[in-house]
């Protein structure tokens, strides 16, 4: 049996499905022109999500929102699979979360369901690339916040 829904309801259903898959994120991410824009969006959305909620895990919030930003389902991110595009995205997210939160390898390993040596490898592999983007990421977050306050 096929259920037909009006065209206007499709985005609502997609947003609800995204919310079920990733409860930390209400809206689908925009299209990103660069990784710097993507990381800035992750920082901004996570700061919004964590504001006034000290009981939430920063590691898991960054992990979940980063998965959404990279367009990957959380189950796929945490799966034991070693397919190339998934592994690259997973390693970038691990390194980004480490640089942003400063958490230890053991806590990251637990959050990503990986061994500490895997976490360490991901950090060594992508640290320089993400740190170079850092100069572009922080101003983007500040500009976005300033433009929203003016509106």
Complete domains list, the chain, with CATH: 7-150 (1.10.1750.10)
Percent of the chain scoring above 70 in pLDDT: 70
Mean pLDDT, residues 12-24: 49
Per-residue confidence band for 22, with pLDDT thresholds at 50, 70 and 90: low
Overall pTM > 0.85 = no
Average pLDDT, integer, range 81-108: 92
Average pLDDT of the residues in 60-72 = 93
* DSSP per residue, 78-140: HSS---HHHHHHHHHHHHHHHHHH---HHHHHHHHT--HHHHHHHHHHHHHHHHHHHHHHHHH
């Amino acid at each position: 049996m096929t259920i037909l829904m009006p065209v206007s309801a499709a985005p609502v259903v997609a947003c609800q499905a995204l919310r079920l898959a990733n409860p930390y994120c209400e809206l689908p991410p925009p299209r990103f022109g660069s990784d710097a824009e993507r990381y800035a969006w992750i920082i901004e959305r996570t700061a919004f999500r964590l504001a006034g909620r000290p009981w939430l895990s920063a590691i898991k919030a960054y992990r979940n929102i980063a998965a959404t930003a990279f367009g990957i389902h959380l189950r796929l991110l945490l799966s034991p699979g070693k397919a190339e595009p998934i592994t690259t995205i997973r390693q970038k997210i691990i390194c980004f979360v480490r640089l942003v939160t400063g958490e230890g390898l053991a806590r990251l390993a637990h959050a990503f369901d990986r061994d500490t040596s895997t976490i360490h490898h991901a950090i060594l592999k992508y640290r320089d690339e993400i740190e170079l983007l850092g100069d572009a990421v922080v101003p983007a977050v500040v500009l976005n916040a300033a433009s929203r306050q003016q509106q």
